Amino acid sequence: MNELSDLRALHTDAPLPDTARLAPARVRLTQAFRQETAADPAPVRPPRRTRRTFLVTAAATGALAVTAGIVVSLPDGAAPADGGGLLSAQASAAALELAATTVEKQAVTEPGPKQWVYEKSMSFTQGKPQTSEEWTRWDGTGHANLPGLPGEGDMSDFDPNKLQVWYGPNQEEKWAKEGYDDRSQRQFWRFLSTLPSDPDRMMKRIREEHAIGDIKGETRAERDWREINVLYRSVLLPSHVQAGLFRALAKIPGARVEKGVKDPLGRAAIGVSVNYAKPSAAGWQGKQELFFDPKTYAYLGEKQRTRPAGPSKEESRGSGEVTFAPLPASNAVITARLGWGVVDKPGARP
């Protein structure tokens, strides 16, 4: 009598668990691993070989599928999902899955048409910080800035410290007919709300309908990184879209999670990065980073590095190989988000 064969026969018709059912188990397993590693931080190798098990997504590995999820065994010395520093591809996928399961539980409510979306941000131009605040009415009929932006004509009495508010007609119907670029935040939210949760199908729809412009020679991975980068700049994203973007990041070749880093303002963060050894089709080169809060996974900012203007190639002597000059530190686009939320009027803060 073969008990294992009989046991397997009893479960041949059992359906595979879906993503929603696996999510709680993924989180519990990752948290258990976190507690295990925290309890034994000493770097001394144990006298016998041990195996550490952690959770990863199906896209990241072809490991054995079991009832509680998908698990793989790490060799001794491999970076765990909750360790510090730059994580391996598998550990990065596990960390991004934990981020996805966390944010998809956080309810995000659509504002009313007369409410305003507020964002306070800081950008760094040649190392000098510049802070700005922006209010955008949900239906697209109002916008406000602080500091104010000078306009045309006589600006002798212009006060940049005075809140500058603009109102206009509702043009959502016109914008919808003319194209995707000029839509209100309400229209943008409603497009995002229709996206599927599956990261592959989500990114396919985004590539088809998010008109950020095609770039000749751009790879699918470069395009997806650029799309995700732009989407994270939105103050409000539906929960399932936030989760889908984390899972989509895990599918970009070369994308890695880095624990224990600081964002552009020095706040504790986790980083997600890609590294372009040569300039991408969009002109980015070097390490490109997105920063998130290590507990809530809220977007904190970005650091994108680009090639300087002019020739970007240098040919080495003799071999004929083409090499690229190192990027100067000033060739970086750095932004950080200081505050955000929904308010009832321009000038108000959450």
DSSP per-residue codes, 130-185? EEEEEEEETTSSEEEEESPPP-SS--TT--TTS-EEEE----HHHHHHH-STT--H
Domain termination residue (choose one: 42, 69, 103): 103
Tell me, what's the pLDDT at 24? 45
Same-domain check for residues 184 and 133:
yes
Q: Say which residues have a Cβ less than 8 Å from residue 204's Cβ, sequence separation at least 6.
A: none
User: Do 215 and 180 contact (CB within 8 A), yes or no?
Assistant: no
Same-domain check for residues 136 and 72:
no
| 219 part of a folded domain | yes
* Nearest alpha-carbon partner for 74 in 60, 98, 91, 95: 91
Tell me, what's the pLDDT at 259? 96
How far apart are alpha carbons 198 and 324 in whole angstroms? 38
How far apart are alpha carbons 255 and 60 in whole angstroms? 12
Same-domain check for residues 166 and 243:
yes
The Cβ of residue 144 has, within 10 Å, a number of other Cβ atoms equal to 20
| 52 part of a folded domain | yes
How far apart are alpha carbons 58 and 128 in whole angstroms? 43
Tokens of 25: 């188990």
By CB atoms closer than 10 A (0-12, 13-18, 19+), residue 287 is middle
Tell me, what's the pLDDT at 241? 97
Same-domain check for residues 269 and 133:
yes
Same-domain check for residues 254 and 322:
yes
Domain termination residue (choose one: 50, 75, 103): 103
Q: What residue has token string 């899955």? A: 97
Same-domain check for residues 140 and 56:
no
| 111 part of a folded domain | no
Domain containing 58: what range? 14-103
| 349 part of a folded domain | no
Domain termination residue (choose one: 76, 103, 130): 103
Tell me, what's the pLDDT at 62? 28
Same-domain check for residues 129 and 78:
no
Same-domain check for residues 253 and 159:
yes
| 193 part of a folded domain | yes
Tell me, what's the pLDDT at 350? 94
| 85 part of a folded domain | yes
Does the model's pTM come out above 0.85?
Answer: no
| 207 part of a folded domain | yes
Same-domain check for residues 199 and 158:
yes
DSSP code of residue 344:
S
Calculate the alpha carbon distances from 126 to 263, 289, 328 in Å: 17, 18, 11
Same-domain check for residues 142 and 280:
yes
- Measured in whole angstroms, the distance separating CA 275 from the mean position of its chain's CA atoms is 15
Q: How many domains does the chain have?
A: 2
CA atoms within a 13 Å half-sphere pointing along the CA-CB vector of 72: 21
pLDDT tens string, the chain, 350 residues long: the values are 444 445 444 444 444 444 444 444 444 444 443 443 444 444 433 333 332 222 222 233 222 222 222 222 222 233 333 446 999 999 999 999 999 999 999 999 999 999 999 999 999 877 789 999 999 999 999 999 999 877 676 667 778 889 999 999 988 888 777 765 567 889 989 999 999 999 999 999 999 887 687 899 999 999 999 999 999 999 999 999 999 999 999 999 999 999 999 999 999 999 999 999 999 999 999 999 999 999 999 999 999 998 755 444 443 334 444 333 444 445 788 999 999 999 999 999 99
How far apart are alpha carbons 72 and 91 in whole angstroms? 10
Same-domain check for residues 161 and 63:
no
